[in-house]
Amino acid sequence: MRDLSTAAGPAAGVADGHRVGPQLRGTARALARAHDVLLLDLDGVVYAGPRALPGAADRLARCRQAGARLGYVTNNASRTPQAVAEQLLDLGVEASEEAVVTSAQAAARLLAERLPDGSRVLVVGGEGLVAALIEQGLEPVWSADDDPAAVAQGFHPSVGWAQLAEGAYALATGVVWVASNLDRTVPTERGTAPGNGTLVEALRTATGREPVVAGKPEPALFDEAIRRLGGRLPLVVGDRIDTDIAGARRSGLPSLLVLTGVSTLADVCTAQGEDRPDYVAPDLEGLLLEHPEVRRHGASFGCAGAIATIDGSTPSLVLAGAGAPAVLAGLRALVAACWVHDDPGSLDLGPATQTLHEMMAVAPRRSDARQ
């Protein structure tokens, strides 16, 4: 269904062959030109709460001009693709209903693959799940007395004890249980609130059952996205290591981590194994830039003139020039240096982080996508 080759070549190692897990990839072309489809997370990537992230709409428009098709792939099962697309349009981001793929759609697909057409499915969730089930030829119901063949569970603010109880009654009969995702929290304008993972835990505790999971970091959501959006060389773009990046790696897809949401510079510098992204950038401008190769010279790591050196427990970082390309090169050099350190969690990243933040504050935020 997808081509697992990469447009950017193999993962960059270090000059003396010392490698610890996956390393950053390099590309001489802007990512928006090297990949035909961008699978973008939403909250923390395109917007934060009710507002678009600074420059996001413009950068996504330039990605489209560079030739990439854009898909918006979200673990949030509460809303329909149409509702999500309308929000993006309100924020100045061009989007159609067909460009949005939700974990509710992935969950409905998993159920449709397991059940006869027209089967009744008990909904523990809201309109996002209902619409997805109907699209797959399944019948949503709201009571265990309706003899459902399965339970579909996804986040919605209206979910309470009554829906959870119906879910528990149905699960006690041994029917299939599919959860849209296991995110324990959701961001709201007033702060962090319980997410679908917290509600799934309530049913898990009540029934002793384990659900099949559709959303990130499981592969089903990315499979659904590629089925709907197509693409030979997709790139996952996200802000969360534990869902976006881990999910991309489990699905065999390359990924870009942007530092505009949940995961921090310290998180990516200390990431291990499947938690390591193929690319990292301060924000979506990274889609419009080349990602130069990182080379090791003894204790130093160089990238397009930027040099990161780890002496003891405190990495130092020297950037070459100014602007978004210089910041990206410095970030890549720093991450590569940390990834080959024996104990990256022990490093004091404060000085290097300060250097990057100071440069990010003054860097021009627009770059043309290069050939």
User: What's the confidence (pLDDT) of residue 312?
Assistant: 78
Can you give the pTM of this predicted structure? 0.89
CA dist 104 and 338 (Å) reads 37
Predicted local distance difference test score (pLDDT) of residue 369: 53
pLDDT at position 100 is: 98
Per-residue confidence (pLDDT) for residue 4, from 0 to 100: 40
Q: Where are the domains of the chain?
A: 31-75+219-362, 103-213
What is the pLDDT at residue 343? 84
From 41, 183, 239, 283, the catalytic residue: 41
Phi, psi of 20 (to 5 degrees): -125, 95
Question: Is CATH 3.40.50.1000 correct for 103-213?
Answer: yes
Architecture of domain 31-75+219-362: 3-Layer(aba) Sandwich (3.40)
Q: Which of 43, 183, 244, 283 is catalytic?
A: 43
> Tell me, what's the pLDDT at 18?
36
**E strand map for the chain:** 37-40, 47-48, 51-52, 69-74, 100-102, 120-124, 139-141, 150-153, 176-179, 185-188, 191-194, 212-213, 234-238, 255-258, 279-281, 295-297, 300-303, 306-311, 314-318
Contact predicate 153/177, CB 8 Å: yes
pLDDT at 361: 62
Q: Is 267 a catalytic residue?
A: no
| DSSP assigned state of 368 | P
Asked if 145 is an active-site residue, the reply is no
Are the C-beta atoms of residues 15 and 49 closer than 8 Å to each other?
no
Are 104 and 215 within 8 A, CB to CB? no
Note down pLDDT in tens along the chain; length 371 residues. 444 434 444 444 443 333 334 689 999 999 999 999 999 999 999 998 889 999 999 999 999 999 999 999 999 999 999 999 999 999 999 999 999 999 999 999 999 999 999 999 999 999 999 999 999 999 999 999 999 999 999 999 999 999 999 999 999 999 999 999 999 888 777 888 899 999 999 999 999 999 999 999 999 999 999 999 999 999 999 999 999 999 999 999 999 999 999 899 999 999 998 899 999 999 999 999 999 999 998 889 999 999 999 877 788 888 877 789 999 999 999 999 999 888 888 888 888 888 887 777 644 444 445 44
Same fold, 31-75+219-362 and 103-213: yes
Q: Give the whole-angstrom CA distance, residue 287 versus residue 367.
A: 10
